[in-house]
Structure 1
């Protein structure tokens, strides 16, 4: 039981300051709970609930008092124990904090900031993508965080990065390309073939085998229907086996 002297007698703190646990003559130094079991916080000469803390303060369980919101940054206008609820007019609210400008990987969206990852897969232009550190998929005109290596069945070619764009390496059979856009892998039922000028292209397996009896093919990793294929020509002194998957020396 805590008491406080008043003149020639001592009285209970809870009688002098409603809801207080301990006090001085000037006011409570700690508070208990009210009749509804809500936590009370020291605010000047009174004990108040969190919602009764003055504007610009919040009920701090750490100190048991209504503390200034500026503990969360000087730009915070109103707050609760989790952080900012509103900011000063020259700042912006983002993820319960107040900032002079949106943090990296976020861009302004009305009175707050939008996490850039939310834009992945949505329509965007180069300016919007660059402000988020993203890329624009040229085929779909959507934002992406990486250029595409496409599993079988999606019907879209792989892409490579060219400045702020992801550009298609070639047709639907292209599975991967180099950083300068040259085809480096084709997927089933296409195979990779090098032309006489050493350019790479993806062609149907039937087109590969129709070219020359001395030409063979192979499919390899990863596995199953999603495999990468190669169209190759045996050396002049070798012939392919019956199913044209091995050069016979």
Structure 2
């Protein structure tokens, strides 16, 4: 059976590679990273006069999110550890309170995206993805906590056929992979780094925030988007406990 092409979008460090590994290793599909130019960019607005169309090299599409508190810590760690694609301060409290510049560092003349803050980045990118009615949404936290159940639900919505193999869940951190990488066996998706899912299931990332940091995020976050993406119960839990 021919693999289906599935377009994927998501913010930096939102779990795109994890979702890709779960779907490709367990279902007859190929997850396409850069259908719309860049998997971490905006979906473009197509005018009626445009020569481009959305659905031209993919059969279905999805986007993945992390809750804002989790994503902001992951984004900050990415900025400090990988030091690519982001222009922002290197101290967390300053990072939350400063503008964020996003670009493709691999290209010397890359255009830039400017956001008034990392929270603005979370709002703007995920609003853009959620506005496309054909895109299926999956929350990273749910995928990590219930990998087989959530992957099956996602695959059903994407109309994917399961592979006739035992269900595979990566035991270690997944690699960053491109569309042209040759992934032959499930081990190809994993790095040598350990992965502790309790970081997300126990909300350990909240230790990074001061009380004023939490207040800042709550002031800037788009509550309508939080509700739309199904994060309202989790946000209430986090605010009540931290």
Same fold (TM over 0.5): no
* Bin for the TM-score computed over the shorter chain: under 0.3
TM-score w.r.t. the length of structure 1 is: 0.16
More helix by share: 2
More strand by share: 1
* The structure with more radius of gyration: 1
